[in-house]
Amino acid sequence: MSGDTQKHVLAISTLYPNDSNPRFGTFVARSLEALAKRGDWKVTVINPIGLPPITVGRYRALAQLPAVAIEGGVTVHRPHFTLVPKIGARMNAAAIARASLPLIRQIHSNDPVDIIDAEFFYPDGPAAATIGEKLGIPVSIKARGSDISLWSSKDYGKAQILDAADKAAGMLAVSENLASDMAALGMDRDKITVHYTGLDRDRFRPLGNVSLRPTLAKQLGFELPGDAPLFVTVGALIERKGQELVLRAMANIPGSRLIIVGKGEDEAKLRSVTRELKLTDRVHFAGSLDHDVMPVILSAADIMVLPTASEGLANAWVEALACGTPCITCNVGGAQELFNIPEAGRLVPRDVTRITKAMDDILTDPPAPSDVIKAVERFSWENNGAELAAHFERLTSG
Q: Provide the sign of the torsion angle of the four alpha carbons 337, 340, 344, 348, taken in this order.
A: positive
Distance CA 127, CA 94 (A): 6
The CATH classification number of 212-376 equals: 3.40.50.2000
| pLDDT attached to residue 209 | 67
Distance CA 136, CA 378 (A): 36
Distance CA 1, CA 173 (A): 28
| pLDDT attached to residue 56 | 80
The packing angle between helices 124-135 and 155-167, to 10°, is: 40
Show pLDDT as tens, one digit a residue, over the chain (398 residues).
Answer: 444 589 999 999 999 999 888 888 899 999 999 999 999 999 999 999 999 988 888 889 899 999 999 999 999 999 999 998 778 899 999 999 999 999 999 999 999 999 999 999 999 999 999 999 999 999 999 999 888 988 999 999 999 999 999 999 999 999 999 999 999 999 999 999 999 999 999 999 999 766 788 989 998 999 999 889 999 999 999 999 999 999 999 999 999 999 999 999 999 999 999 999 999 999 999 998 877 889 999 999 999 999 999 888 999 999 999 999 999 999 998 999 999 999 999 999 999 999 999 999 999 999 999 999 999 999 999 999 999 999 999 999 96
Distance CA 240, CA 222 (A): 27
pTM (global) more than 0.85: yes
Quick check: do 3-198+380-396 and 212-376 share a fold?
yes
**Residue-wise burial string across 44-66, b where 16 or more C-beta atoms lie within 10 A, e elsewhere:** bbbbbbbeeeeeeeebeebeebe
| pLDDT attached to residue 149 | 87
Q: How many CB atoms lie within 10 A of CB 309?
A: 15
> Domain residues of the chain, as ranges?
3-198+380-396, 212-376
Q: How many CB atoms lie within 10 A of CB 260?
A: 24
| pLDDT attached to residue 85 | 79
- CATH architecture of the domain with residue range 3-198+380-396: 3-Layer(aba) Sandwich (3.40)
How far apart, in Å, are the Cα atoms of 349 and each of 25, 175, 266?
Answer: 28, 20, 21
Q: What angle do CA 167, 169, 173 make, to 5 degrees?
A: 100
| pLDDT attached to residue 3 | 47
Note whether 288 and 316 are within 8 A (CB).
Answer: no
Residue by residue, DSSP assigns 331-387 as: S-TTHHHH--SGGGEEE--S-HHHHHHHHHHHHHSPPPHHHHGGGGTT--HHHHHHH
Q: What angle do CA 78, 84, 89 make, to 5 degrees?
A: 85
| pLDDT attached to residue 2 | 40
Q: How many CB atoms lie within 10 A of CB 94?
A: 15
Distance CA 389, CA 383 (A): 10
Note whether 277 and 319 are within 8 A (CB).
Answer: no
